[in-house]
Structure 1
């Protein structure tokens, strides 16, 4: 069986990564979405084992010590990471695995999976990003300000990624994402 591939989607908080991933999975149910682990509390409506694996800080640190994560990072006071076993299993089965992760983790994936396609999702502007973060109504004012500061740092490294897609219009961004994953022969070999 052909070897699968790893697609890494990243970008600042509030840029629409989750919305793009849901649309991509609706159009392409053959894709496998890796579930990340985190130490942050679940947001309203999030389900354990579907949206994230919600772990205690000590459980997450044990996974770090035992090399059970492909990548991990601390972001806005919480740990986030990608459990290794399931991702490697699905790639070995020939599947395309999607990782929707934060920027530091996406940069680290280059070391563990140099052939991964790493795609950075950009906001149309920092002002629109702030509007999206505030519209979610899931974070405190201090958390929003931390996320915006972090977003400015993350946007500065966007050119280190294989592809950059601006999420201004969802349908256009989705079409560009599909082209990068399925049709760009320079990447898919």
Structure 2
């Protein structure tokens, strides 16, 4: 992999509907450039799932610990999804920046709104869009990890999130993920800065 010149060291906030390929794009970027980019690890109150690792997948905390961080303004954003709390800590971003890495935050539109309404970090924002809702539904069903009710909830949420992609200036860039390699190329260009 050729060296990447990064002219913009601000954290990158990536958003988009569940199943659109955000995680794949981020993992590919971080695997290709581990000395430049790193995932922020979110806190959650949900339980550990098979294959997940504490401090790598998430920081698994009790609801009271989570609320304590909220009351101390310890998160740049936090939300409730499927009855569990999720949040990105300010400390995690600071730790990555101190190590000379560019933090990559994979968060939903609600989190983007929180950061933009109370900017505690100066970030760049990219939205990953599916080629169509039908293609997104196909990807969600293809994963085979969720029941019908959960798929329908994710599709309803996707409709809401897609509206934000059309608001001028809400995101710095919108990338349609209809071809993974092409979407990745655009994501790397965005990540490296102007």
Q: Shorter-chain TM-score category?
A: 0.7 to 0.9
Structure 2 CA distance, aligned partners of 1:85 and 1:3? 21
Residues 81-106 of structure 1: per-residue CA shift (max 9 Å, x gap): 10111202333554311111122112
SS at match of 2:105: strand
The one of 8, 12, 16 equivalent to 2:13 is: 8
Count of residue correspondences: 183
The one of 82, 98, 107 equivalent to 1:101 is: 107
5+ long unaligned stretches in structure 2: 1-6
| Aligned residues of 1:4 and 1:92 also touching (Cα < 8 A) | no
> Could you tell me which residue of structure 2 aligns to residue 143 of structure 1?
150
TM-score of the superposed pair, with normalisation by structure 2: 0.86
Structure 2 CA distance, aligned partners of 1:47 and 1:9? 22
Residue 22 in 1 paired to residue 23 in 2?
no
Structure 2 CA distance, aligned partners of 1:43 and 1:174? 28
Structure 1 CA distance, aligned partners of 2:53 and 2:190? 29
The one of 59, 83, 86 equivalent to 1:80 is: 86
- Greater helix percent: which structure? 1
TM-score of the superposed pair, with normalisation by structure 1: 0.88
Structure 1 CA distance, aligned partners of 2:46 and 2:64? 13
- Structure 2 vs 1, CA of residues 42 and 123 (structure 1 numbering), >3 Å: closer, same or farther? farther
- Structure 2 vs 1, CA of residues 147 and 99 (structure 1 numbering), >3 Å: closer, same or farther? same
| Aligned residues of 2:76 and 2:121 also touching (Cα < 8 A) | no
- Structure 2 vs 1, CA of residues 3 and 149 (structure 1 numbering), >3 Å: closer, same or farther? closer
The one of 179, 183, 186 equivalent to 2:189 is: 179
Taking only aligned residues, the RMSD between alpha carbons, in angstroms, comes to: 2.0
5+ long unaligned stretches in structure 1: none
> Could you tell me which residue of structure 1 aligns to residue 173 of structure 2?
163
Structure 1 CA distance, aligned partners of 2:22 and 2:44? 17
